[in-house]
A and B are shown apart, each in its own frame.
Chain A
Amino acid sequence: RKEVEQDPGPFNVPEGATVAFNCTYSNSASQSFFWYRQDCRKEPKLLMSVYSSGNEDGRFTAQLNRASQYISLLIRDSKLSDSATYLCVVRVGGNYQLIWGAGTKLIIKP
């Protein structure tokens, strides 16, 4: 089982819709969680951190479920510019190493 798993997609979503996707992690010692965004042929950029109490930034909401070991990302009122690959990142305690998921590709269609 991969340490961080994501549905690769692509998720084809009409503009204005709400879309959500999950990421599961296998190591129960995971301490910190993040969503990065990677545009096609570009570098990854931090989108948001995922706190135990959840985190909201505009149209984006991230949540953590420690019991089931997954994090989620919800995008409301999706825009064409939201089209990208969303990478789930987990930091395991101790060595601070970041473990990256392979990403979920999102395509917003007009």
Chain B
Amino acid sequence: DTAVSQTPKYLVTQMGNDKSIKCEQNLGHDTMYWYKQDSKKFLKIMFSYNNKELIINETVPNRFSPKSPDKAHLNLHINSLELGDSAVYFCASSQDYGQETQYFGPGTRLLVL
């Protein structure tokens, strides 16, 4: 079984649309994350979610909103998509906040046209 799964794997959409990416982990971890990896391969943390506490990277536009229906899921909703949102989005989880061993999902490749 896949430890951290994301859907969809690829997402191509028009500018201005609203889209969601889903993430699920079956590791029983308490903390989940969303990362953005741009074309220059920089991996930047967007959100950390631990026991209903959301920690937001202040550089993330408020068009991005994480939603966690339960501990095993952390979805990412994006409003009014822009060209610059094109990137690979990785979901990850760790046993607890601050744990260096993070388990990543396979990534969602988003292309905004």
Name A residues whose Cβ lies closer than 8 Å to a Cβ of B: 8, 32, 34, 41-46, 49, 85, 87, 89, 91, 95-98, 100, 102-103
What CA separation (Å) do A44 and B91 show in the bound complex?
A: 11
B34 within 8 A of A: no
B49 within 8 A of A: no
Q: List 7 A-B contacts (CB under 8 A).
A: A42-B106, A43-B90, A44-B104, A45-B104, A89-B100, A98-B102, A103-B41
What CA separation (Å) do A46 and B104 show in the bound complex?
A: 10
Contacting pair B97 A100 (CB below 8 A) = no
* Most chain A CB atoms below 10 A, which of B90, B97, B101, B102: B102
Contacting pair B45 A46 (CB below 8 A) = no
Task: Contacts A44-B43, A102-B41 given; indicate if A96 touches B97 (C-beta within 8 A).
Answer: yes
Chain B interface helix/strand/loop/mixed? loop
Q: Of A41, A45, A46, which one neighbours B100 at CB under 8 angstroms? A: A46
Q: How far is the CB of A21 from chain B (nearest CB, A)?
A: 15
Contacting pair B98 A91 (CB below 8 A) = yes
Q: Of A34, A49, A89, A102, which one neighbours B42 at CB under 8 angstroms? A: A102
Instruction: List residues of chain A with CB within 8 A of the CB of B44.
Output: 100
Instruction: List residues of chain B with CB within 8 A of the CB of A34.
Output: 100
Q: A34-B100, A42-B107 are in contact. List 10 more A-B contacts (CB 8 A).
A: A41-B107, A43-B107, A44-B43, A45-B104, A46-B100, A96-B97, A100-B44, A100-B45, A102-B42, A103-B41
Closest to B43 in A: A100
What CA separation (Å) do A97 and B107 show in the bound complex?
A: 20
Contacting pair A46 B101 (CB below 8 A) = yes
Instruction: List residues of chain A with CB within 8 A of the CB of B66.
Output: none
Q: How far is the CB of A69 from chain B (nearest CB, A)?
A: 18
Instruction: List residues of chain A with CB within 8 A of the CB of B107.
Output: 41-43
Instruction: List residues of chain A with CB within 8 A of the CB of B105.
Output: 43
Q: Of A49, A87, A96, which one neighbours B43 at CB under 8 angstroms? A: A87
Instruction: List residues of chain A with CB within 8 A of the CB of B41.
Output: 8, 85, 102-103
